[in-house]
Structure 1
Amino acid sequence: MKKPLQPGRWLIYGILILFALIYLMPLIVMLLTSFKTSADIRSGNLMSLPTEWVFDGWIKAWGSACTGVNCDGIKGYFWNSMQMVIPAVLISTMMGAFNGYVLAKWRFRGSDLFFSLMLFGCFIPFQVILLPMAQSLGYVGLANTTAGLVTVHVIYGVAFTTMFFRNYYVSIPDELVKAAKLDGAGFFTIFFRILLPISKPIFMVCVIWQFTAIWNDFLFGVVYSAGDTQPMTVALNNLVNTSTGVKEYNVDMAAAILAALPTLLVYFFAGKYFVRGLTAGVVKG
């Protein structure tokens, strides 16, 4: 028979549940408000249940809400973000994997300095690169395009992914690579046939990290995009700040949830892999 929980354990569980509820309070308020009518919002309080559960806010947010002068909802911007985030995540992750492999297993003169300079790139504030990046995108004809946003996020994210993969590959025994070399495996064979198959944990870390950072980015989106190429975060800001008659909080809340939904789903289904990947390279050997 299992022993009953001790009072101290009940206290711990109670505190954890309390803090979880406090942490989830904004999401609860957003969900409840999104299903209310405008009259219900004005007459009730934040935590009250809707007197009538309606989907009007969700329908309008997706298909007919005004984001500035455009009143086609946020669906187009949602797909803009998808077209931006998927290639940016895949490219920056693969580049980070390749860079990390070289810096960890094929060290060259100045490799430590090169890695230090890449780490320095992780801590450069976004605002510092706004002007030179805008000029560079203009020179190559990528200003105000989705491809330009992908390029910006790849450039800024490759420093982080390189750091993750390099630290992970350092924990893999060098004897594994040396044995492959003795068997005649070359540079790319070792990378694609040996290291990549055992890199799933750190791949999940990089994908989750990059997906969240790129999807939630507002600054690059508002600076390097315009019109129909703007991502979801910019459209959400425009929707909330557009004043056309009575403020529709149910529409705003529904749009905010739709904007946050992809990252919520990523963490819900892959959060355990994120923690597992972060700790996978802690112990060397």
Structure 2
Amino acid sequence: MPRPARIGLYVFLVSAALLFLLPLYVMLATSIKPMEEIRLGNLFALPVRITLEPWAQAWMSACTGLECGGIRTGFMNSVAIVVPSTVLSILLGALNGYALSFWRPRGAQAFFVVLLTGAFIPYQVMLFPLIRSLAAMGLFGTLPGVVLIHVLFGMPVMTLLFRNYYAGVPHELFMAARIDGGGFWRIFVQLMLPMSLPIVVVAMIMQVTAIWNDFLVGLVFAGHDWLPMTVQLNNIINTTTGERLYNVNMAATLLTSLVPLTVYLVSGRWFVRGIAAGAVKG
């Protein structure tokens, strides 16, 4: 016979899960209903007739302002932004964390304090100086420009993450590599990076989720030609030409969230392993 405390725990967990899943259910159910059923006002009712037309319309022909090419253009733009931004920010964060943990050059502590401070400054207060700087370099409204901004904003957190991880690596291992003649780059590439797979997965999930879900940086810095999927989604929802198609809006929202959700579901085991292996050490 289960104890009352355990029954209460399961009741709480199930209730919390249902509470979090309820909006997802409403979005999914609405996205596969025709507008005739949605107009009846039964928000929580299961669809009587399932249709995937809203998904096709959201992907290929939904209006994002004056253009009606769907959200697929924003998807390709988001991929073009996320891939280099994630790779570069992780590489720079790993390199900084490695240098600060083992080589400790002169001024390393001050440099780390500056990076750590940058991680807690809201980037909204730096938008105007960054806009002027990118405009002076000719990068405003370009793909390299928005990638550079994401790398700059991600580097403090990535440095902190990798520094804490490398702090848990035995220093004797590094000294043994030094005795064997390993230099800065050889030790980093052949020793540290292969050992960093768990924390790299953690960093990848964090960066992909943050960059893919970003709205403000893409809206301000990407320009018209490189608007990410989140900005395209906002344009679809706020485009009011005729009837508001709630099923198309919900389908577009779900399409936008598929990539970070898939990344987390596929890499969730590695994420937990990376956290346990030292992502919060130090």
1:198 aligns with 2:189: no
Contact 2:165 2:281 (C-alpha < 8 Å) held by counterparts: no
Whole-Å separation in 2 of the counterparts to 1:131 and 1:282: 33
Residue of 160, 176, 187 corresponding to 2:184:
187
Equivalence for 2:247 = 250
Show the 5 A alignment for 1:10-49. Answer: 10-49=7-46
Where in structure 1 are there 5+ consecutive unaligned residues? none
Equivalence for 2:152 = 155
1:219 aligns with 2:216: yes
Give the partner amino acid of 2:17: A
Equivalence for 1:166 = 163
Give CA deviations for 1:102-158 in whole Å, capped at 9, x if unaligned.
000001222111101100110111211111111111122211112211110001101
Whole-Å separation in 1 of the counterparts to 2:49 and 2:281: 58
Equivalence for 2:101 = 104
Cα–Cα, structure 1 residues 146 and 91, in superposed 2: closer, same or farther, change >3 Å? Answer: same
Contact 2:134 2:140 (C-alpha < 8 Å) held by counterparts: yes
Equivalence for 1:238 = 235
Residue of 133, 136, 149 corresponding to 1:136:
133
Contact 1:77 1:228 (C-alpha < 8 Å) held by counterparts: no
Equivalence for 2:123 = 126
Give CA deviations for 1:214-238 in whole Å, capped at 9, x if unaligned.
0011111111122231001111111
1:281 aligns with 2:278: yes
**CA apart distance, 1:7:** 4.4
Whole-Å separation in 1 of the counterparts to 2:102 and 2:189: 14
Percent of aligned positions with the same letter in both sequences? 49
Whole-Å separation in 2 of the counterparts to 1:54 and 1:137: 45
Give CA deviations for 1:193-225 in whole Å, capped at 9, x if unaligned.
111111011101110111111001111111112
Whole-Å separation in 2 of the counterparts to 1:122 and 1:223: 20
| Superposition CA RMSD, Å | 1.6
Give the partner amino acid of 1:148: G
Give the partner amino acid of 2:256: A
Contact 2:164 2:281 (C-alpha < 8 Å) held by counterparts: no
Cα–Cα, structure 1 residues 234 and 114, in superposed 2: closer, same or farther, change >3 Å? Answer: same
Where in structure 2 are there 5+ consecutive unaligned residues? none
Whole-Å separation in 2 of the counterparts to 1:246 and 1:68: 15
**Secondary structure at 2:39 match in 1:** helix
Whole-Å separation in 1 of the counterparts to 2:43 and 2:265: 26
| TM-score calculated relative to the size of structure 2 | 0.96
Equivalence for 1:92 = 89
Equivalence for 1:78 = 75
Structure 1: which 4+ aligned runs deviate by more than 4 Å? 4-7, 282-285
Contact 2:77 2:226 (C-alpha < 8 Å) held by counterparts: yes
| TM-score calculated relative to the size of structure 1 | 0.95
